[in-house]
Structure 1
């Protein structure tokens, strides 16, 4: 028996390793929510034809990693810990035409269809936590004109984010992405990151480094007033934002390495919560090797290994990225 780790849940998976190192699951049991039918594997209305599914089927069982690829997932297997983690794969690639939907804390992004949405990713391990009251002010000022700010904390514990949410006295949807679901869908590699979504659910400004105050401008070089003015133009002056072609040009679609890094990170979080610190560290190192630029993983998960995300480990990470010419913040033209 292995433990399967997906976004928001971990469960037992009836599977074994064969002599080639493949993880084989029982063919008569559901796998990733799909069930074997006479004509193929099905989940709700969707079906994977038997001819395609055959690529993952062996006499000894279903090759879990191969099957995951067929249904748009990436699998990372740890034989020693008897665990496998899954992350979204190419089938869920981010696109300009429709913003990926998600539900956190009982709020679905699609519930806001018909309104403009400023999707604001932040975290308690980032100085951008001090911007939350200012984002609330922007929400309050522009809510009557059709804007909803939705803030999403990338904290792995809701308890870390809640004090900052309560202090900001928010009235906008303030969500906590403890399992990295929304961050994965929107390929958020650092915070603060803001995405604009129009009334029809289309992305009109993709992942943009924006702040709502100038508290750390000397460090990040970001102009909060410029982003505020752009937001007001979009809401009040009906500025359409970027065209679909421009969105596609700037959209940061996750690479295969980034997707695999997220699976390693998901497994690391589960292992850390299970008290398996050494194994968690190993998967964090794998994630860092695959996506060294992903600050949301590397800084956001420092606490798992006892490192201070505001201390020496973070500044060492900054120095490493700067020496490598990797931008820490990635603002779009305003």
Structure 2
């Protein structure tokens, strides 16, 4: 048996060749091809993944534009999200569908980041601006949900925990804090941006929370997003692949298979050395202090390589106070 990790779910499959007639990743075989709702892969294209024995899962994922990583020695396969065809629209998950018609600040944070101390300020902004048709939605990147839960005890805004990294993959989030603004129609109003709601760590990140929250209020009340950039930054193939290795590593660590997990952690770091959501985010599962020496060594490594820890958009992040 093989454990399949896909779409935020975990299931058991007999092998990488799936018997004919079995639905795969929500797709079903029909006479003219594989279909999911109104979308179909015609038979002549699907033939590349089909044989007399069944359908090759890895090849089929490729037809869907989804990367896959298998560790057959450990009996686990991870399949990523489809490449987003429209970077100008916000990928849906959890509470987003129910908030259409509302402006959203999608706030990515984690208990292993000092930005956890910003959650009360985000909650205050949610309460202050909800009368204008606005909501904060916070997304914790904690791989262990219990690490995030204590910080969410008093929030009223929609909050989710992205333990498998799927939402970070959908939005190409490589560090926290990262905030994405989404308009009433589900379109990107401001893409991935390093934004703070307090100045607790301004000495480290150099960012003004006063300027950021003033810009947020202007957008919510007046509709001015302060930028002409209205598409998510697309991930490179190596970044997408790194996230799958990280997903396998997290699953293996939870299952007590540290040695196998380390191999996938090393591969993820080699593919996307700048991705702190992976490299720092998995430290707690690996028994490493995310605020300790290894984290600061990682910061030094990236800074010496010219890799920015924080990636704010320009415009209101710059200039005089």
TM-score strictly above 0.5 = yes
Q: Using the alignment, how far apart are the partners of 2:296 and 2:121 within structure 1?
A: 26
Instruction: Tell me whether 1:188 sits opposite 2:147 in the alignment.
Output: no
Encode CA deviations 1:66-122: one digit per residue, 9 max, x unaligned: 2101112111011211221111142x25611x211111xxxx202111111111000
Corresponding residue SS for 1:242: coil
CA contact (8 A) 1:145 1:236 kept: yes
Superposition deviation, residue 288 in structure 1? 1.0
CA contact (8 A) 1:93 1:253 kept: no
Instruction: Tell me whether 1:162 sits opposite 2:149 in the alignment.
Output: yes
Superposition deviation, residue 61 in structure 1? 3.4
Instruction: Tell me whether 1:314 sits opposite 2:305 in the alignment.
Output: no
Q: Using the alignment, how far apart are the partners of 2:140 and 2:209 within structure 1?
A: 19
CA contact (8 A) 1:196 1:204 kept: yes
Gaps of 5+ in 1: 16-22
Q: CA RMSD in A?
A: 1.6
Instruction: Tell me whether 1:14 sits opposite 2:14 in the alignment.
Output: yes
Q: Using the alignment, how far apart are the partners of 2:301 and 2:106 within structure 1?
A: 29
Equivalent of residue 266 in structure 2, options 275, 282, 285 = 285
TM-score if structure 1 supplies the norm length?
0.90
Question: Pairwise mapping of residues 146-295 of structure 1 onto structure 2 (< 5 A)?
Answer: 146-166=133-153, 169-243=154-228, 246-248=229-231, 251-295=232-276
Equivalent of residue 111 in structure 1, options 90, 98, 110 = 98
Q: Using the alignment, how far apart are the partners of 2:254 and 2:86 within structure 1?
A: 29
Question: Pairwise mapping of residues 77-156 of structure 1 onto structure 2 (< 5 A)?
Answer: 77-90=70-83, 92-93=84-85, 95-96=87-88, 98-103=89-94, 108-156=95-143
TM-score if structure 2 supplies the norm length?
0.93
Q: Using the alignment, how far apart are the partners of 1:80 and 1:155 within structure 2?
A: 27
Length, aligned pairs only: 315
**Change over 3 Å in CA distance of 1:240–1:212 after alignment to 2:** closer
- After TM superposition, what 4+ stretches of structure 1 lie above 6 angstroms from structure 2? none
Superposition deviation, residue 24 in structure 1? 3.1
Q: Using the alignment, how far apart are the partners of 2:284 and 2:85 within structure 1?
A: 29
Gaps of 5+ in 2: 317-321
